[in-house]
Amino acid sequence: MFGYVKPYVPSLTVAEYEVYKGAYCGVCRAMGRLTGQLSRLSLSYDMAFLALFRMAALKTPSAFRRATCAAHPFSKRFIMNENDQLLYSAAVSSLLTLEKLNDNVADESGAKRLSSRVLLPSARHAARRAGDKYSVLGRDIQKQLAKLSDTEREKQPSIDAPAGIFAEALGDVFSFDADGDSARICREMGRRIGKIIYVLDAADDLEGDIRGEKYNSLALIYNDPFEKASDAETRCISDDTRGSFQKENSENSEKPEKSVKSEENKKKAKPKLKAEIADSLFTAVMLELERARSALSLVDSPEVKTYVSVVDNILSCGIPAEARRVLYGAKKTDDPLKYRV
């Protein structure tokens, strides 16, 4: 759905990486069986995270097998056998995809609206196939997202209100069918992840929303959120350009001419948020991650230790890396361990 909730693979052990890939493939298989083959196109990192976290919090047993699939027909991979949390994530994916397409039809225009309208019948079919068991959850999601739409139409210059509503929606998703302490832990995790996703999505879409005159809470809070090209120049020079500059500068005291390639890259690059805005949003994301990890620390059971480790990697390394990319334009090659929670 959003793609911000992903692991930082270099920090995973081999066993943890195989578990993550197995869960990801397991969700995909569950989607194909429960909600139809076409629904597998909406597979996301978010649903793999949901499955792994709920497996840890609810102590869901699991097993793996080696098998091929349509995406990898020539090599066998470890795939997690079907379990309750994989099926649940598949159902949630169909419900959220349907709501996302409905939102696009209502609020977007042009090709995006047309493509969403074309995909709607398939999304409705997938949501129906999820079954009556999740109809209550579907209504809860619809209610929260309708409330979110109403709040966004009010165009309040605040991100707290809409982010809070989206957080409650994900709190419902994470805690569905859980009880006792497990329900409280799941709801807390869902709320924290919901706020993070809303903030990063708003920042990621800010340029396009301003250009298209669409709602974005950050655009209402900050009148001029982006650095001017001249101010951003020192922060958007590529490593190659920087090295070239230093070499030429040592040989010639005159200011080197800008390369054509550098100019083209600058034109293609997204505008950068002003440093103080990026710092403020990054701090907010990191605070939510601290609270999410506090909730995760309450999940303590030897049989789910590997799942907890994978989830912790996502919270402590993966999401901070995505936040750096969205807010500062950091490259994938940047080391997110420098910003570890």
Task: Kindly report, residue by residue over 170-181, the tens digit of the pLDDT.
Answer: 999 999 999 999
* Tens-digit pLDDT profile for residues 61-82: 899 999 988 888 888 999 999 9
Q: Which whole number is the average pLDDT over 235-252?
A: 48
Can you say how many angstroms the Cα of residue 210 is from the centroid of all Cα atoms in its chain? 21
If one counts every other C-beta atom within 10 angstroms of the C-beta of residue 271, the result is 16
104-113, 117-126, 156-165, 240-249: range with lowest mean pLDDT: 240-249
> What are the C-alpha distances in Å from 307 to residues 18, 60, 178, 311?
11, 10, 18, 6
- Checking if the pLDDT of 243 tops 80, the result is no
In percent, the amount of the chain with pLDDT more than 70 equals: 85
Q: Which residue has the higher pLDDT, 15 or 104?
A: 15
| Angle made by CA atoms 168, 173, 174, in degrees to the nearest 5 | 95
Question: What pLDDT is stored for residue 108 in this prediction?
Answer: 81
Question: Is pLDDT larger for residue 254 or for residue 162?
Answer: 162
pTM of model > 0.85: yes
Instruction: Provide mean pLDDT across the span 10-33.
Output: 96
Q: In CATH, what is the architecture of 9-220+271-339?
A: Orthogonal Bundle (1.10)
What does the pLDDT look like over 207-221, one tens digit per residue? 999 998 899 999 999
For the chain, give the secondary structure using H, E and C. Answer: CCCCCCCCHHHCCHHHHHHHHHHHHHHHHHHHHHCCHHHHHHCCHHHHHHHHHHHHHCCCCCCEEEECCCCCCCCCEEEECCCHHHHHHHHHHHHHHHHHHHHHHHHCCHHHHHHHHHHHHHHHHHHHHCCHHHHHHHHHHHHHHHHHHHHHHCCCCCCHHHHHHHHHHHHHHHHCCCCHHHHHHHHHHHHHHHHHHHHHHHHHCHHHHHHCCCCCHHHHHCCCCECCHHHHHHHHCCHHHHHHHHHHHHHCCCCCCCCHHHHHHHHHCCCCECHHHHHHHHHHHHHHHHHHHHHHCCCCCHHHHHHHHHHHHHHHHHHHHHHHHHHHCCCCCCCHHHHCC
- Determine the pLDDT at residue 332: 56
pLDDT of residue 132: 83
Per-residue pLDDT tens over the stretch 297-322:
999 888 899 999 999 999 999 999 99
Span 154-169, mean pLDDT? 94
| Mean of all residue pLDDT scores within the chain | 87
> Which residues fall within 8 angstroms of residue 224, CB to CB, at 6 or more apart?
274
Tokens standing for residue 66: 């080696």
pLDDT at 88: 97
Over residues 251-261, the mean pLDDT reads 50
Neighbours of 85 (CB within 10 A): 25
| Stretch among 4-13, 22-31, 128-137, 287-296 having the lowest mean pLDDT | 128-137
Report the pLDDT value the prediction gives residue 233, as an integer from 0 to 100.
53
Torsion angle of C-alpha atoms 179, 184, 185, 188, degrees rounded to 10 = 140
Closest-CA residue to 218 (of 156, 150, 167): 156
Domain boundaries, the chain: 9-220+271-339, 228-268
Closest-CA residue to 123 (of 148, 149, 105) = 105
Q: How confident is the model at residue 119 (pLDDT cuts 50, 70, 90)?
A: very high
Q: What's the pLDDT at 106?
A: 85
List the structure tokens of 254: 């005159």
Q: Give the pLDDT of residue 157.
A: 92
The pLDDT, as a whole number, for residue 337 is 55
Q: Which of 103, 98, 114, 93 is nearest to 42 (CA)?
A: 93
Of residues 284 and 247, the one with the higher pLDDT is: 284
Assign 2 a pLDDT band (cuts: 50, 70, 90). confident
